[in-house]
């Protein structure tokens, strides 16, 4: 995202906040209040509207060519489980490195 402007022409929500929420907006995953806020901003801010058009086109292109494979239902749980395991292993390594060495 280019984000080369700082304030919307309507003066309500900063452009940076809108652009940060753009993909979530495109995915239809914003909460109702945020959705309305972003939509109103896009209607009044030409630079953000241009950015929205570009991002929407890219998202549609990617979905058209890469969105065919369904995600396995248990993938999220597996990924989160592995992340938690890696985090615990890292914390254990850090704890060992910080603790004084016990005599062998």
Domain boundaries in the chain? 15-96
- pTM of this structure: 0.49
pLDDT computed for residue 25 by the predictor: 87
- Six-digit token pair at 20? 């940060």
Cα gap 7→9, rounded to integer Å? 7
Cα gap 73→70, rounded to integer Å? 9
- Cα–Cα distance list, 17 to 5, 26, 43, 55, 103 (Å): 12, 14, 15, 15, 55
Cα gap 90→74, rounded to integer Å? 24
Positions of the chain with pLDDT lower than 50, given as ranges = 1-4, 6-10
């Amino acid at each position: 995202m280019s984000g080369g402007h700082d304030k919307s022409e309507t003066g309500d929500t900063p452009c940076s906040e809108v652009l940060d929420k753009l993909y979530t907006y495109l995915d239809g995953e914003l909460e109702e209040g945020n959705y309305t806020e972003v939509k109103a901003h896009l209607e009044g801010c030409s630079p953000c509207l241009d950015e929205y058009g570009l991002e929407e086109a890219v998202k549609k292109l990617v979905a058209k060519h890469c969105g065919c494979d369904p995600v396995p239902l248990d993938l999220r749980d597996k990924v989160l489980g592995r992340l938690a395991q890696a985090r615990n292993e890292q914390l254990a390594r850090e704890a060992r490195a910080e603790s004084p060495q016990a005599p062998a």
